[in-house]
């Protein structure tokens, strides 16, 4: 069986001591793996693991100094089974959210994709994202919602995912945002995709088409990027952050047939 090896490292400047939540671990049913958090002098920082609605979260109590966090895990690339869409899923993932103002995109969504059946509509949205937006690193930031890539026609993976989610919800198709590790991504970075509800199951789509969907490994899922943030201060005041990430497979990457439905692992 092909395996994915994930090695992530984050260096963070902490200006005021306190807790932060880290969203690095692969999501259940996988184990959360090994996360080490150490101060600049090598002293380990107290860390606990919390299971959230979207995945694992490590809560670390950080001192006011530079802190290094390292995470490593291996995951088998067995075929993923699409999860069922619950009644709560339908309620939550049809609502507009902070980065996905679907209520403002109803006209565009209906005009472009409203004549299509749900599966065809979502596939058309993914193809439209890929053909209409240019992937340009650094052109958006944490305050930009789905309207920014729509107007600027540029963005990064989170922008593609936010716009995909918003367009699906505007059509009455439940959709959610997922952070993922993506073997084959170049340059390597944390990745974002979107999932849409089709025939009562969750299927993954990626407007960037920069990595095969069958190789993706879920980190966390939520309404939008606010629910899956890599780092969330919970009392600590943080400054500069840098990260390195390596995601490799033990074999060849799978071919991605864009006409097929794929579940996110």
Domain 3-77+229-249 has CATH 2.30.110.10: no
Average pLDDT over residues 173-198: 95
- Under CATH, what is the fold of the domain 87-227? C8orf32 fold (3.10.620)
Residue 223 in this model has a pLDDT that exceeds 80 = yes
Q: What is the pLDDT of residue 33?
A: 78
Average pLDDT over residues 97-116: 97
Q: What is the pLDDT of residues 48-101, one digit of tens each?
A: 999 988 899 999 999 999 999 999 999 888 878 999 999 999 999 999 999 999
- Rounded Cα distance between 199 and 92, Å, is 17
Please, where in the chain does CATH 2.60.40.2250 lie?
3-77+229-249
* Lookup: tokens for 117: 């059946």
Please, where in the chain does CATH 3.10.620.30 lie?
87-227
Average pLDDT over residues 222-235: 95
Q: What is the pLDDT of residue 155?
A: 96
Q: What is the pLDDT of residues 139-158, one digit of tens each?
A: 888 899 999 999 999 999 99
Beta-strand ranges (E) seen in 17-148 are: 18-22, 34-39, 47-51, 56-62, 66-76, 134-135
Confidence of residue 254 (pLDDT cuts 50, 70, 90): confident
Q: The pTM is what?
A: 0.94
- Rounded Cα distance between 157 and 141, Å, is 12
Distances (CA, A) of 106 to 114, 207, 235: 9, 19, 38
- Rounded Cα distance between 145 and 152, Å, is 12
């Amino acid at each position: 069986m092909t395996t994915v090896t994930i090695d992530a490292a984050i260096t963070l400047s902490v200006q005021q001591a306190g807790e932060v939540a880290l969203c690095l671990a692969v999501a259940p049913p996988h184990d959360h793996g090994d996360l080490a958090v150490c101060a600049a002098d090598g002293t380990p920082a107290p860390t606990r693991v919390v299971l959230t609605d979207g995945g694992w979260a490590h809560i670390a109590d950080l001192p006011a100094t530079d802190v290094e966090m390292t995470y490593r895990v291996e995951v088998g690339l067995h075929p993923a089974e699409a999860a069922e869409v619950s009644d709560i899923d339908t309620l939550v993932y049809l609502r507009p959210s902070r980065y996905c103002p679907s209520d403002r995109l109803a006209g565009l969504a209906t005009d472009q994709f409203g004549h299509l059946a749900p599966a065809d509509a979502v596939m058309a949205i993914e193809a439209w994202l890929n053909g209409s937006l240019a992937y340009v690193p650094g052109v958006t930031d944490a305050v930009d919602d789905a309207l920014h890539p729509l107007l600027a026609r540029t963005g990064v993976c989170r922008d593609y995912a936010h716009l995909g989610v918003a367009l699906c919800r505007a059509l009455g198709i439940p959709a959610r945002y997922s952070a993922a590790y993506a073997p084959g991504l170049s340059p390597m970075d944390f990745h974002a995709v979107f999932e849409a509800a089709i025939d009562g199951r969750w299927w993954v789509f990626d407007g960037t088409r920069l990595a095969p969907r069958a190789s993706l490994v879920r980190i966390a899922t939520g309404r939008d990027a606010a629910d899956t943030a890599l780092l969330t201060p919970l009392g600590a005041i943080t400054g500069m952050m840098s990260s390195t990430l390596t995601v490799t497979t033990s074999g060849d990457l799978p071919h991605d047939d864009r006409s097929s439905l794929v579940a996110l692992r």
